[in-house]
Chain A
Amino acid sequence: MRFSDFIKNCERNEVSLPEAILRAEMEETGVPKEKLKDSIAKVFEIMMKEVESKYGKKQRTLTGMTGFNGYIMSQHIPRMIGEFNHIAMVAALSMAESNAAMGRIVACPTAGACGVIPGVFFALKKVKNASQKELLVDFIVAGGIGWIISRNATLSGAEGGCQAEIGAAAAMAAGALTYHFSGDAEKCGHAAALTLKSMMGLVCDPVGGFVEVPCVKRNGIATQIAIGAAEMALGGVGSVIPFDEVVDAMRRVGRSLPESLRETGRGGIAVTPTARKIVEKVKSNNI
């Protein structure tokens, strides 16, 4: 299954993108569409409830390397970005910190990248007054894009680096945002492609192997890339390379990443002098 198959189904059957995604899933698993939609709605409700309760809160994470960034940014009055971007950023930081604090999260698409999607969805809700019903449809679009990445590349940092986790999350978010404002399936593909191209090759280099540095802040920043890419797609800027081909490229790039840059904590920023010092301290505190 490719993204172009979704588009074909939309055209042939005159259905929306989320409808085409649900139908494709139903054909594969045999689970009735309504039942699937109910299960997705349950996950979605939990995600929105969690982001509402954790937004801008200080949290005690397992290692203490993060936990205060969502709070700090919520207190900051932005100098450049608007309310939409600001809320998405704070929400994403807060959810990623909740994950590091053993809070309840939705691993959409993974635990380490769990902040990006609730980030942009919370902004849609708070700033654009989007209804739960509209948002659920957008959420299915996000899921469909992640599904394509999981089928044709990977969503695992250990296999494909961070491009497969936060990169994929951002592509999913960009597609959902584009669908929310345009309902245009092709533009969703462009937004996802533009995002993934901007994050291609991103390595997974967690300090000490823990899901905190740089994961938490990367979640916050990825919302901004997703919003930027969606804005471009909405404005009519397309990706020269189609989304499916970008996903193929991402798979190849992931395979050529050395193991040290795939969630082992043995490359990238994880081996900088400061990171080493921090890890020593964390371990001596019996963490």
Chain B
Amino acid sequence: MSLLDVVGPVMVGPSSSHTLGALRIARFAYKFIGEMPESVNFVLHGSFAETWKGHGTDKALLAGIMGMHPWDERIREAYIIAKNSGLKYKFTFEDLGEVHPNTVLIDAAKNSKTYRIMGSSIGGGEIRIIMINNVSCEISWEYNTMLTVIRDVPGALERILRNLTVNISNLYLRRTNALGKIATVIIETDEEIPPDDRKKISENPCVMDCYYVRRD
């Protein structure tokens, strides 16, 4: 914890775990999709499901999926803003299994593409994204994060790394579909991954999808 973490952050209350953390998970989803989705369903689990309205978790999630910053005082009016901007939203409650008590599953759709992102708020506003599009992962969003879906063939990873001009902090590779020969690579970096690198990587024939979420 740095001095700045002790004296901050600036945020909208009331709770760093139930408000700030919730907003950051939804804001990650917003950044991952690249824009506000057309429709979204928030599936609340555990403590999120129990005390959601009293902590403003619902408003924080809506604000986050619309791309608001944690210190935006319009979070309070998230319902009205969502309605005015035509966002279709829903809150449901479900036991999501053996996950942190403060967990939400975000099902969103944009341009006939669907996104499924699960995240946990683990305290002090810190989050972990634990699943993206049915692939389990562990993303803290403390780094710039690139997620690529690749063909599970020899040399695929090497071809991605070849186009990367910045230092890698963390790297994960996981086979996600043995039958379809699909794997997922998550790359976390301190430095921003240059647009040129990303372009080259996404043009790579081994790469089926490439998402990039800049550190907030």
Contact = CB atoms under 8 A, between A and B. Distances in A.
Given A62-B56, A114-B13, A211-B13, A43 B51 contact: no
Contacts of B124: 110, 155-156
Interface stretch (A79-87, A125-133, A137-145, A249-257): A137-145
B86 interface: no
A139 B6 CA distance: 11
A150 B123 CA distance: 14
Given A106-B8, A107-B8, A211-B15, 16 more contacts: A36-B3, A39-B4, A40-B7, A62-B14, A62-B56, A105-B11, A106-B11, A108-B6, A109-B7, A111-B14, A139-B7, A150-B5, A159-B123, A208-B54, A211-B13, A282-B54
Contact of B123 (A156, A212, A287): A156
Given A102-B14, A156-B123, A107 B9 contact: yes
Contacts of B123: 156, 158-159
B54 A63 contact: yes
Nearest to B73: A104
Given A40-B4, A143-B3, A105 B51 contact: no
Given A102-B76, A104-B73, A111-B16, A143 B10 contact: no
A18 B56 CA distance: 36
8 contacts: A22-B3, A99-B13, A102-B59, A102-B75, A102-B76, A111-B20, A143-B7, A151-B1
B53 interface: yes
A131 to B, nearest CB: 19
A103 interface: yes
Nearest to B71: A104
A31 to B, nearest CB: 8
B14 A104 contact: no
A206 to B, nearest CB: 10
A287 to B, nearest CB: 5
A219 to B, nearest CB: 12
A36 B4 contact: yes
Interface in B1-57: 1-17, 19-20, 47, 50-51, 53-56
Interface of B: 1-17, 19-20, 47, 50-51, 53-56, 59, 71, 73, 75-76, 123-125
Interface in A105-121: 105-112, 114
A43 B6 contact: no
A101 interface: yes
Contacts of A13: none
A286 interface: yes
Interface string A60-91: 01110000000000000000000000000000
B57 to A, nearest CB: 10
Contact of A210 (B1, B4, B14): B14
